[in-house]
Amino acid sequence: MAAVPGKIPASQRAVAFGKLGLLSRASCCRSRAARFRPGYLSLSPRRGLAAATCTASVAMDPLQTDRLVAELRDEFRSGRTRPMDWRAAQLRAMLRMIDEREGEIIEALDRDIGKPAYETYVAELSTIANSCTNALKHLRSWMAPEKVSTSMISFPSSGEIVPEPLGVALVISAWNFPFLLSLDPVIGAICAGNAVVLKPSELAPATAALLAKLVPLYLDKKAIRVVEGGVPETTALLDQQWDKIFYTGSTRVGKIVMAAAAKNLTPVVLELGGKSPVLVDSNVDVKVTARRIALGKWGNNNAQACISPDYILADESVVPKLITAIKECLLEFYGDDPSRSKDIARVVNGSHFERLTGLLDEDGVKDKIVFGGARDSNKLFIAPTVILDPPADSAVMTEEIFGPLLPVIPVDSMESAMSFVNTRPKPLALYLFTRDKALEKKVVSETSAGGMVVNDTVLHFVTETMPFGGVGHSGMGAYHGKFSFDAFSHRKAVLYRGFWADMASRYPPYTIAKQNFVRNFLQGNYLEAIKALLQNLRS
């Protein structure tokens, strides 16, 4: 991977981050070739600011992770994290943190991904604030045991489901929404009464460092810890025994996390990714469709989001109008020269830049570009690009794009679109644009995805009354709202009985009369059961 010209030479790159003085080995987040290859460096020049993310690294000492987990387990065992007051106090502190440090958070995200302040506010800060507020409002009811009815089988009895914390949780965050994807799961862990270790992504180093600084200042620094670092640190952490692991990231690493969790029978939530398709019917408002797709794509971390609309399958009759409308949107949003717009995030780093330009430059693809295509490696800028009908087996149509390229594939029918989607791994999100209610019903029942939005994109993410998560290769488990609380809880079944009303017919020796009784009693034939009972008493 070529060094970016004009930047600080490798020999002078400085160690920068880490509260514990941990250094991170850079790694290319999603590139298959480069993931976990040691010594792979990445730069993230942001608005003229060059910040090296690593040099030589020091792996976290296994003893340190042992000690860390032991300390957290003690904290959890002390019972400190269980009272509602403690949990509510953490949530309030988090709200204070967001409020007081908004400027610093916006700046860190700007440095890490060039994220516009508007996006940081809407997608990261406001979402976390709402999570906290919502949780504070409902925590008492979430924590309360849920009474259930019990049947005649155990009469007299009562039952309830008692939520309890799993214990010590590990949250591994991602680089693209580095603040949100760190704290949102942590909120769930806290609400459920766990102690938690957060491992922010090293590919967003400014945010990682900021979290490492702020979390101990505002939250309980013994029971809620931040561990910075890269692959070696993550590996060391995964070797420990956790009561829950919550991972956000790629499918490939998801498998590694689950395999590590299997050693200790640790339950996991894996929030992964995939190619989230957009199906566009002919019966749509083309202008609004184009705007909402464009916003969901380029207006959400410049398409570097797990739920970014990845590619479009549009009814061929609407394709020309759709493309025109998208072009018009892009001009409206970002002007003639998007490289000068302040309202769009940058590609995160050099290796992703290379990966994306590679997708564009592939034979069979580059001549299908109908809009955009411009790039500037100095600014890590790739223009919002629309590609019309690239080959189905091209890299841009087989790999998760995670960048500002939008393939548009004309299809002869929505059935074809659904078949196309169904021959591929289940995506994290599926978007459908149509006014046709029957088609809507069909797509809902004949395709599968983590979640779906009809006539818009990405907004299901902020709908806390719905579970947010993947299925198949896009993940397992879900969170947001009460689902976050549940993700970090064990729902313990409790059945209560008294000592009175002890039925002799339950017990050996099993006479015919007792067998008759039990058969009839269990099946609700109470008259017969009573007869058998009387028979038993007589004998």
Partner 1 sequence: MESAVIAAVCGEVRGDFKSGRTRSLDWRLAQLKSIVDLIKKHEEDITEAVAVDMGKPSYECFASEIFPVKSACQLAIKNLKNWTAAVNVPPLLATLPASASMKPEPFGVVLIISAWNFPFLLSLDPMVGAIAAGNAVVLKPSEMAPATSALIARLLPLYLDKSAIRVVEGGVPETTALLQQKWDKIFYTGSPRVGRIVMAEAAKNLTPVTLELGGKSPVIVDSSSDLKVATRRIAVGKWGNNNGQACVSPDYVLVDSSCSTKFIEAMKDTLKSFYGENPRESMDISRVVNINHFNRLVGLLDDPNIASKIAHGGEKDETKLYIAPTLLEDVPLDSKVMSEEIFGPILPIISVRSIDEAIDIVNSRPKPLALYLFTKKDKVKEKVIAETSAGGMVVNDCCLHFLTTTLPFGGVGESGMGSYHGKFSFDAFSHHKAILTRPFWMDIMARYPPYSAHKKTFIRCLLEADFVGVILCLLGLKG
Residue ranges in 295-324 that form contacts with partner 1 under rule CB under 8 A: 295, 299
Near partner 1 by CB under 8 A: residue from 59, 490, 528, 536: 490
* Residue 463 engages partner 1 in binding (rule: CB under 8 A): yes
Query: Which CB, 111 or 297, lies closer to partner 1?
Result: 297
* Per-residue binding letters, 224-253, with partner 1 (x by CB under 8 A): -------------------x-------x--
Query: Which CB, 217 or 495, lies closer to partner 1?
Result: 495
* Residue 341 engages partner 1 in binding (rule: CB under 8 A): yes
Q: Residue 183: what residue type?
A: L
* Residue 526 engages partner 1 in binding (rule: CB under 8 A): no
Shortest spacing between CB 465 and partner 1, in angstroms: 4
Backbone angles phi, psi at 268, to 5 degrees: -130, 155
Interacting stretch for partner 1, rule CB under 8 A, among 47-55, 290-298, 318-326, 403-411? 290-298
The one catalytic residue among 202, 228, 233, 271: 271
* Residue 416 engages partner 1 in binding (rule: CB under 8 A): no
271 belongs to the catalytic site: yes
* Residue 58 engages partner 1 in binding (rule: CB under 8 A): no
Query: Which CB, 5 or 498, lies closer to partner 1?
Result: 498
Q: What sign has the CA pseudo-torsion 504, 510, 512, 516?
A: positive
* Residue 10 engages partner 1 in binding (rule: CB under 8 A): no
Q: Residue 532: what residue type?
A: A
Interacting stretch for partner 1, rule CB under 8 A, among 32-40, 231-239, 365-373, 464-472? 464-472
Interacting residues with partner 1 between 143 and 172 (CB under 8 A): 148-151, 153-154, 157, 159, 161-162, 164, 166-167
Give the Cβ contact number of residue 298 at 10 Å: 28
* Residue 435 engages partner 1 in binding (rule: CB under 8 A): yes
Query: Which CB, 221 or 263, lies closer to partner 1?
Result: 263
CA distances from 221 to 215, 218, 227 (A): 7, 8, 12
Residues 6+ apart with CB under 8 A from 337: none
* Residue 525 engages partner 1 in binding (rule: CB under 8 A): no
Query: Which CB, 343 or 354, lies closer to partner 1?
Result: 343
Which residue intervals of 156-284 are DSSP H helices?
180-191, 205-218, 231-238, 251-262
Mapping DSSP onto H, E and C, the string for 325-351 reads HHHHHHHHHHCCCHHHCCCCCCCCCHH
Nearest alpha-carbon partner for 459 in 487, 417, 427, 431:
431
User: Residue 451 belongs to what H/E stretch?
Assistant: strand 451-454
Interacting residues with partner 1 between 76 and 95 (CB under 8 A): 77
* Per-residue binding letters, 342-361, with partner 1 (x by CB under 8 A): -xx-----------------
* Residue 261 engages partner 1 in binding (rule: CB under 8 A): yes
Shortest spacing between CB 206 and partner 1, in angstroms: 21
Near partner 1 by CB under 8 A: residue from 33, 515, 530, 537: 515
* Residue 31 engages partner 1 in binding (rule: CB under 8 A): no
**End-to-end distance of the chain based on CA atoms, in angstroms?**
89
Shortest spacing between CB 154 and partner 1, in angstroms: 5
Query: Which CB, 43 or 97, lies closer to partner 1?
Result: 97
Please compute Rg for the chain using Cα positions: 27
Total residues in contact with partner 1, by rule CB under 8 A: 104
Give the Cβ contact number of residue 363 at 10 Å: 8
Q: 120, 102 in Cβ contact below 8 A?
A: no
What is the rounded CA–CA span in Å between residue 73 and residue 169?
Answer: 10
Task: State the burial class of residue 107 (Cβ atoms within 10 Å of its Cβ: 0-12, 13-18, 19+).
Answer: middle
Task: State the burial class of residue 11 (Cβ atoms within 10 Å of its Cβ: 0-12, 13-18, 19+).
Answer: exposed
* Residue 492 engages partner 1 in binding (rule: CB under 8 A): yes
Query: Which CB, 111 or 473, lies closer to partner 1?
Result: 473
Q: What sign has the CA pseudo-torsion 45, 46, 48, 53?
A: negative
The one catalytic residue among 29, 132, 191, 306: 306
* Residue 472 engages partner 1 in binding (rule: CB under 8 A): yes
Near partner 1 by CB under 8 A: residue from 192, 210, 475, 533: 475
Shortest spacing between CB 242 and partner 1, in angstroms: 11
Count, residues in the chain: 539
Query: Which residues partner with 513 through β-bridges?
Result: none
Query: Which CB, 332 or 415, lies closer to partner 1?
Result: 332
Query: Which CB, 11 or 149, lies closer to partner 1?
Result: 149
* Per-residue binding letters, 104-143, with partner 1 (x by CB under 8 A): ------------xxx--xx---x--xx-------------
Nearest alpha-carbon partner for 134 in 488, 464, 483, 478:
464
119 belongs to the catalytic site: no
CA distances from 283 to 363, 364, 399, 413, 437 (A): 34, 30, 29, 12, 11
Interacting stretch for partner 1, rule CB under 8 A, among 14-22, 305-313, 393-401, 495-503? 495-503
Interacting stretch for partner 1, rule CB under 8 A, among 48-56, 191-199, 410-418, 491-499? 491-499
What is the rounded CA–CA span in Å between residue 354 and residue 347?
Answer: 10
Q: 270, 255 in Cβ contact below 8 A?
A: no
Name the token pair of 95. 């709200």
* Residue 289 engages partner 1 in binding (rule: CB under 8 A): yes
Near partner 1 by CB under 8 A: residue from 52, 211, 270, 280: 270
Task: State the burial class of residue 444 (Cβ atoms within 10 Å of its Cβ: 0-12, 13-18, 19+).
Answer: middle
Catalytic positions, please? Answer: 271, 306
